[in-house]
Amino acid sequence: MNSHMPPSSTASQDQSVVRLRDVKRSFGATAALDGVSLNVQRGEILGIIGRSGAGKSTLIRCLNGLERPDAGTIEIERRDITRLGETDLQPLRRKIGMIFQHFNLLSAKTVEENVALPLKIEGWPRAKRLARAAELLDVVGLTGKADAYPKALSGGQKQRVGIARALAAQPALLLSDEATSALDPETTRSILALLRDINRRLGLTILLITHEMEVVRAIADRVVVLDHGRIVEEGPVWQIFSHPQSDTTRSLLSGVRPQLPAHIAGSLTQATAATVIVAADVGGAAATDFLKDIGRAFPDGLNLIHGGIDHIGSQPVGRFFLSLPSESLSLFLQSAQILGAHVEVLGHVADPV
């Protein structure tokens, strides 16, 4: 199994940093959260993905009490925060770092003052908090930018400051609210790598919300798919990638998983023809051997036309588009099932591909 996977038993000796039980929140007649239950395990990176309006933002804002649920309980480090007043929430929020899509840096403060602000709120003396800010700027690779104002920084640098600021008060949990959605792909990769690095080095639990499967795939251990305020699917990222169960997940995955090339998809017919085209999804160790193993059953006439093996975390995830003679389809389906693959018959083409 995935080495990053924490124990999955719900009764485990509280490895959960966050526990949500049947959390509900509506705005007028629309339910933003419609009975969400989930745990975030210590040290994991949990990705919450959904389209806009799925309830992600409401969910993340409930975790530090910026939003109050109508029903259900939210425990942070075993403490129910749903009934806490604003004054009691304030010390708790200091132990939850948060980064934002638009960085939310204070324009009137220098980089080091921004990073040191959570410590100022905690009442640290100036010299001490600036020393800590310098350390954190080192961690995020912004040494030398301490006296700059945010307007002088690029988007990626701003988010690095945001991360340093979120880490300042040594939080038990880091919330990331679409932290890379305003960044270009290259900067996104470097920010995600930084978050991954911080997670490993400090053992920091990270909960991130995003609408991009690419982000989940890059750093999350586990993913929760949210749709219309409900969890439609959850599990280790590689499993979700190899066997998505819901339509929402499949649609969110469409951009990051291999798709049948359009010119082939266009020539498919549902009526039986000489050649059938199938998609086989296989995750874990079985993915590596799948082609070799299935090939044994088909000494001739099995073509890989698209796809291959991808690695998510340390797990191979295979998605193979194969063409084979239509008369061999039932043999293929049986063999594939034995090998642990999920097969979808996409259609037929008259000529072999």
Partner 1 sequence: MSQILFELLLRSLWETVLMTAASGLISLVFGLPLGLALVMTARGGIAEARRVNIVLGAIINAFRSVPFIILLVALIPVTRLIVGTSIGTWAAIVPLAIAATPYYARIAEVSLREVDRGLVEAVRAMGGNRWTIVREVLIPEALPGLVAGFTVTVVTLIGASAMAGAIGAGGLGDLAIRYGYQRFETAVMVAVVVVLIILVSAIQWLGDRAVDAVDHRG
By CB under 8 A, tell whether 100 contacts partner 1: yes
Interhelix angle 329-338/285-297, nearest 10 degrees? 150
Nearest to 213 by CA among 228, 200, 221, 223: 223
Looking at the Cβ atoms of 166 and 324, the one nearer to partner 1 is 166
By CB under 8 A, tell whether 211 contacts partner 1: no
Interface with partner 1 (CB under 8 A), residue from 52, 107, 270, 330: 107
The DSSP element (H or E) to which 307 belongs, if any, is strand 303-312
Residues 295, 329, 239: CA angle, nearest 5 degrees:
70
Q: How far is the CB of 177 from partner 1 (least distance, A)?
A: 9
Interface with partner 1 (CB under 8 A), residue from 13, 52, 85, 108: 108
By CB under 8 A, tell whether 124 contacts partner 1: no
By CB under 8 A, tell whether 298 contacts partner 1: no
The 134-153 contact track toward partner 1, x by CB under 8 A, reads ---------------xxx--
Nearest to 208 by CA among 224, 194, 193, 197: 224
Looking at the Cβ atoms of 149 and 298, the one nearer to partner 1 is 149
Report the distance separating Cα 116 and Cα 268, nearest Å.
60
Q: How far is the CB of 170 from partner 1 (least distance, A)?
A: 12
Looking at the Cβ atoms of 60 and 322, the one nearer to partner 1 is 60
Report the distance separating Cα 165 and Cα 158, nearest Å.
10
Tokens representing residue 316 in the block: 């191979």
By CB under 8 A, tell whether 106 contacts partner 1: yes
**Segment near partner 1 (CB under 8 A), from 7-15, 17-25, 32-40, 163-171?**
163-171
Q: Which amino acid is at 221?
A: D
Interface with partner 1 (CB under 8 A), residue from 21, 24, 51, 109: 109
By CB under 8 A, tell whether 92 contacts partner 1: yes
Beta bridge partners of 177: 100, 209
Task: Give residues with Cβ within 8 angstroms of 68, minimum separation 6.
Answer: 25, 62, 82
Looking at the Cβ atoms of 63 and 216, the one nearer to partner 1 is 63
Report the distance separating Cα 143 and Cα 136, nearest Å.
9
**Segment near partner 1 (CB under 8 A), from 74-82, 116-124, 133-141, 316-324?**
116-124
Asked if 17 and 42 touch (Cβ cutoff 8 Å), the reply is yes
> Footprint of partner 1 on residues 33-72 (CB under 8 A)?
64, 66
Report the distance separating Cα 65 and Cα 61, nearest Å.
6
269: DSSP letter? B
Residues 71, 74, 75: CA angle, nearest 5 degrees:
150
Interface with partner 1 (CB under 8 A), residue from 32, 33, 81, 98: 98
**Segment near partner 1 (CB under 8 A), from 20-28, 75-83, 84-92, 246-254?**
84-92
**Segment near partner 1 (CB under 8 A), from 69-77, 104-112, 134-142, 337-345?**
104-112
φ, ψ (nearest 5 deg) of residue 40: -115, 120
By CB under 8 A, tell whether 90 contacts partner 1: yes
Q: Which residues bind partner 1 (CB under 8 A)?
A: 64, 66, 86-87, 89-94, 96-98, 100, 102, 104-109, 117-118, 120-122, 149-151, 165-166, 169, 175
